[in-house]
Chain A
């Protein structure tokens, strides 16, 4: 009986871990493709570990790709995004200090869900640039760094307003779950 309880609570715990933070990018713009990276970092004390998507250099979420048409970017964690999302990231750059940086494949055990790195970081920011849909022509004034705000580790603003469109970062948080949203209108 005890064993069953232990097993059950372990299952519940891993379930909670696996879902404790989720990143969603909704590109509602019909004019621009979104190209950007995604970063997560530690929020308790130092900024490290600091994890950034590095392959592809820029993740492309095409114009008009969002939850309404099932084309949103949704990352549950560094690993499962590769098989479970429409926009797989192959490699992550993991910084454990300002001077130490390692590139890790999506399935490397060190960044697996529930592991030390995964458990200690939260989605934080995106360095992005909007491109005219289907082209490699950027709109220079529609881009930049956006993220959780205020955040001393990134200094990112949470809202970018341009004459071409707006981008915002917001969270919906409960005691042990944070959902982070990057929405482009």
Chain B
């Protein structure tokens, strides 16, 4: 009898835990805006064969990302900045169209948004 009860409890527990699996879980990944996703993709694309540093770029006397590769990050960075309501004119005025400034600004927005998402997930739990 005891054994029966224990196995019944185990069965119920197993079933209920499986039941939870189907319910949607909010993750940072699933709550990112499309602009954030594109920003991610841009950084990942630096590893694509054609985007890796060339021999010449590796021999440069600096670790600063080359202009060619920064240019790969700029479109997604701009998109992310504009998605916060900043206008094209403001973007140009604040960054002087300097690629590093655009990427750094976008990164700050990105990190702030990720922090907010993480906080929201925590408060939902």
Contact = CB atoms under 8 A, between A and B. Distances in A.
Given A68-B41, A183-B47, A185-B47, A174 B29 contact: no
B104 A171 contact: no
User: For this complex, into which size category does the number of interface residues on chain A fall?
Assistant: 20 to 34
Interface stretch (A113-121, A133-141, A162-170): A162-170
Interface of A: 19, 22, 26, 28, 66-70, 74, 147-150, 158-159, 166, 168-174, 177, 179, 181, 183, 185
Main SS of chain B's interface residues? helix
Interface of B: 27-29, 32, 37, 39-41, 43-44, 46-47, 52-53, 58, 61, 63-65, 69-70, 98, 100-101, 103-104, 107-108, 110-111, 114
Shortest beta-carbon contacts, A-B, top 4: A70-B28, A185-B47, A68-B40, A170-B65
A111 B63 CA distance: 25
A74 B63 contact: no
A177 B37 CA distance: 23
Contact of B53 (A22, A28, A69, A159): A159
Contacts of B53: 159, 168
Given A69-B28, A170-B63, 12 more contacts: A19-B108, A70-B28, A70-B32, A74-B111, A158-B63, A166-B47, A170-B69, A171-B64, A171-B65, A179-B104, A183-B46, A183-B47
Given A26-B43, A172-B103, A70 B114 contact: yes
Contact of B52 (A28, A166, A181): A166
B43 A179 contact: no
